[in-house]
Amino acid sequence: MRRVGLGVLGALLLAAPFWVWNPYYVHILIMAGIFTILALSLNLLLGYTGQLSLGHAAFFGIGAYTSALLALRLDWPAWAGFVAAVLVAGLAGYGVGKVSLKLRGAYFVLVTISFAGVIYLVSVNWMELTNGPLGLPGVPPFEVAVAGLFELSFRSKPAFYYLVLGVAALAYLVCRRLVSSRIGRAFIALRENEALAESVGIDGTRYLVLAAVVSAAMAGAAGSLYAHYTRFVSPEVFLFTYTVTMVIMVVAGGKGTLAGPVVGAVLFTVLPEALREVTSWQWQMLLYGVLLILTVFFLPKGVVPALETWLRERRAIRP
């Protein structure tokens, strides 16, 4: 039953560019994919280790700038820039984690906020490197080419959609394998009972830093895709709004579940756009806010856990 459901979902996603004819809708799907990667990445920290990163946009932005700068200044091919973006963001996650995860909790929240603030200021003020508030236009499209042999371009929207879908699927797989392993069990143990976790030999700091590295690297991947998709990077990528959106997606979708951030990301990317269709712009964000409050009020654990409970209860009634 579950397999059939997943198969149908997979087929629908793979065929999306064929039945979603409006390019604007494909754009929304691409953004939903990028946010899925971001939400998965935040969920690894917030959902599984219980540590809240309120500067997650910084890792996203670092990925975007790394890709853009390497492509524009050093003519790196996009795939190499993508790999570099993942590594640089992961390294930043390591630094932030090392500094703050010895103390954890509120300190981690504060350090991540400050880190995002500092990185934003650097991006605005280091004119020579980042071109300041004007940003970096003309980031090349994502293309993979082996000289003379073949060329694969992700310039068109449908092609880029498949690239994002692939990376999102990979991010999901990484999360799934991690959380069902000894590493994931250590994350959960630290979230639920740190003293007990340490007493059975789990090195708290080490595992939290590891979570921060993987999470930041994943956000960096999303940033790189974003840079090559919009072809323009500006300090706006570091804005707190991005972080808030990620937190909303993770919490409303269901933190600490694998499907939660995916559902949350798709729902809260599509929702504002759907509201734009049905109401005027004055009402769009207002309705969005009301719907968000209702979700949190009636489904405090998120959409996915609520759905799971509902299914389980239904199954229990019908033998």
Partner 1 sequence: MSLRVEEMAVHFGGVAALADVSFEVEAGRITSMIGPNGAGKTTAFNVITGFLRPLRGRVLYEGDPLTGLKPFQIAERGIVRTFQKTNVFPQTAVLDNVMIGLHLRERAGLAAILLRRRRVREEEATLAALAEEILAFVGLAHRRREPAGALPFGEQRLLELAIALAARPRLLLLDEPASGMNPAEKTAVMGLIRRIREQGVTVFLVEHDMRLVMGISDRVIVLHLGRVIAQGAPGEVQSDPQVISAYLGGR
Instruction: Tell me which residues touch partner 1 (CB under 8 A).
Output: 174, 177-178, 181-183, 185-186, 188-189, 192-193, 195-204, 210
Q: Which two tokens stand for residue 97?
A: 């984690």
Do 47 and 256 contact (CB within 8 A), yes or no?
yes
Residues in the chain: 319
* Cβ partners under 8 Å of residue 105, min gap 6: 51
116 vs 210, beta carbon nearer partner 1: 210
Q: Taking the complex as a whole, how short is the minimal distance between the CB of residue 175 and partner 1, in angstroms?
A: 10
Residue 198's Cβ-count burial label (10 Å; 0-12, 13-18, 19+) is middle
User: Among residues 197 and 252, whose Cβ is nearest to partner 1?
Assistant: 197
Our CB check for partner 1 shows the closer of 31 and 210 to be 210
Query: By C-beta, is 175 or 247 nearer to partner 1?
Result: 175
- Write down the least CB distance from residue 301 to partner 1, Å: 11
Q: Toward partner 1, which CB reaches closer, 155 or 182? A: 182
CA-based end-to-end distance of the chain:
16
Please identify, using beta-carbon distances, which residue of 89 and 237 lies nearer to partner 1.
89
What phi-psi label fits residue 258: left (phi over 0), alpha (psi between -120 and 50 degrees) or beta? alpha
Question: In the chain, which residue ranges form alpha helices assigned H by DSSP?
Answer: 2-19, 23-43, 56-74, 78-100, 105-125, 127-130, 157-179, 182-192, 194-199, 204-230, 240-253, 259-278, 281-298, 303-317
The answer to whether 40 and 260 have CB atoms below 8 angstroms apart is no
- The answer to whether the CB of 247 falls within 8 A of the CB of 237 is no
CB of 97 to partner 1, least distance (A): 15
Shortest distance (Å) from residue 51 CB to partner 1:
16
CA torsion angle for 232, 238, 242, 243 (degrees, to 10)?
Answer: 150
| Minimum CB–partner distance for residue 192 and partner 1 (Å) | 4
Q: How far is the CB of 64 from partner 1 (least distance, A)?
A: 24
